[in-house]
Structure 1
Amino acid sequence: MTDDTRTVPERLVDFLPNLRRFAISLCHSRELADDLVQSACERAILAADSFLPGSRFDAWMFRIIRNLWIDHLRRQKTAGPQEDIDDARDVAIPSGEAGSHARMELLEVTAALKKLPEEQREVLVLVCVEDLSYRDTAEILSIPIGTVMSRLARARKNLAELTGIGVEEKRSSGKKGDMA
């Protein structure tokens, strides 16, 4: 709980990067994500009276944006091609070899995230990127906490397998004869 006395529009300004990051994780298109964020902000401002003081503003906003995304998917069953985040060239990275490696890793993780089932991707982004608790994530997604935990475990496992990150460490730590 928070004792923040700022208005909904004032809170929105500080929270825009989080909303945009979550929207991009849902739709994989920066343009569509920006549209979702704009719609979510409009909806939040219009429904500011329904926000309960003392409740979690982030959870309220994530629920709004997720509901807008679900509405969009229902309307767009036969949608045409969308911009792919992999084609975006405006990501700021350092120059040289380190920048090349960072870009390659980012593309690898982005591709792996896209391969995760949507329910695993949602939980992974809310818990690991947005740093929400299991309880808040469960509330936003309207699922039990146990379901959040199992989806998160499966998402982490699948992401590790798809990227190879963490797999090598497990292999090397499980060698016979190693004594700690």
Structure 2
Amino acid sequence: MQFDATLLNRLFRYGFAFTMQREAALDLVQQACEKALKQPPDDKRKLEAYLKVIVRRLYLDGWRQQQQYPLELFTETEVVDDEASIEQLMVDQQQLSRLMPMLSPQQRELIYLWAVEGWTIDEIAEQLGEPRGTLLARLRRVREQLSRLPEESYGVSR
């Protein structure tokens, strides 16, 4: 099994969306690759999805067991079904680095998959195994949080 540079870069950005720390993100990617080499996915075509699940679980395990990463709540249950208004929130990728530190790890993961990777809410829900409405609620909270900040500080156009 080989990990090409494009895949590793995508995994690094995914890990960085959780940790917001370069070295910690690199560690997550390395650990994920090691685990994938020891226990390869059943379907080689789904390697990236498999590795992202590992990165996510490693982050959560590190947070729970060793308190390696900042303590932030990782549960939200509000259900919203207003995708049309939320989809109008457009994140300027040049300003994404300023936006990410303001968000929780869950919100950063969602914004990364949605704004950077370009996934739909349905694709994200399937990937994360979470209800679509929960993800829409997270996006709404991000939008509300951003609306309370001065526009020049977060680089988001509405």
TM range (shorter): 0.5 to 0.7
Matches of residues 97-116 of structure 1 in structure 2 within 5 Å?
106=95, 109-116=96-103
Per-residue deviation, residues 124-150 of structure 1 (Å, max 9, x unmatched): 111111222323321332211222222
| Contact in 2 for aligned 1:112/1:163 (Cα 8 Å) | no
Alpha-carbon separation, structure 2, partners of 1:47 and 1:144: 28
Identity between Structure 1 and Structure 2 (%): 31
| Contact in 2 for aligned 1:160/1:167 (Cα 8 Å) | no
Say which structure, 1 or 2, has more relative contact order (CA 8 Å, 6+ apart).
2
Q: 2:128 aligns with which of 116, 124, 141?
A: 141
Q: Structure 2: 5+ residue runs without aligned partners?
A: 71-93
1:68 aligns with 2:58: yes
Residue 52 of structure 1 corresponds to which residue in structure 2? Answer: 43
Alpha-carbon separation, structure 1, partners of 2:52 and 2:128: 9
When the two structures are superposed, what TM-score results if normalisation uses the length of structure 2?
A: 0.68
Alpha-carbon separation, structure 1, partners of 2:126 and 2:27: 24
Alpha-carbon separation, structure 2, partners of 1:41 and 1:168: 34
Aligned-partner residue type, residue 43 of structure 2: L
3-state SS of the aligned residue for 1:31?
helix
Aligned-partner residue type, residue 42 of structure 1: E
Residue 131 of structure 1 corresponds to which residue in structure 2? Answer: 118
CA RMSD of aligned residues (A): 3.0
Residue 39 of structure 1 corresponds to which residue in structure 2? Answer: 31
Deviation at 1:71, TM superposition (A): 0.9
Alpha-carbon separation, structure 2, partners of 1:168 and 1:21: 20
Alpha-carbon separation, structure 2, partners of 1:17 and 1:140: 19
Q: 1:28 aligns with which of 13, 20, 25?
A: 20
3-state SS of the aligned residue for 2:15?
helix
Question: Structure 1 residues 17 and 163 mapped into 2: Cα distance closer, same or farther (>3 Å)?
Answer: farther
Alpha-carbon separation, structure 2, partners of 1:64 and 1:168: 31
| Contact in 2 for aligned 1:37/1:65 (Cα 8 Å) | yes
Deviation at 1:120, TM superposition (A): 1.7
Residue 120 of structure 1 corresponds to which residue in structure 2? Answer: 107
| Contact in 1 for aligned 2:19/2:105 (Cα 8 Å) | no
Greater CA radius of gyration, 1 or 2?
A: 1
Aligned-partner residue type, residue 25 of structure 2: A
Question: Structure 1 residues 111 and 169 mapped into 2: Cα distance closer, same or farther (>3 Å)?
Answer: closer
Question: Structure 1 residues 163 and 45 mapped into 2: Cα distance closer, same or farther (>3 Å)?
Answer: farther
Per-residue deviation, residues 88-122 of structure 1 (Å, max 9, x unmatched): xxxxxxxxxxxxxxxxx75xx54542222332221
Matches of residues 147-158 of structure 1 in structure 2 within 5 Å?
147-158=134-145
3-state SS of the aligned residue for 2:54?
helix
When the two structures are superposed, what TM-score results if normalisation uses the length of structure 1?
A: 0.61
| Contact in 2 for aligned 1:138/1:148 (Cα 8 Å) | yes
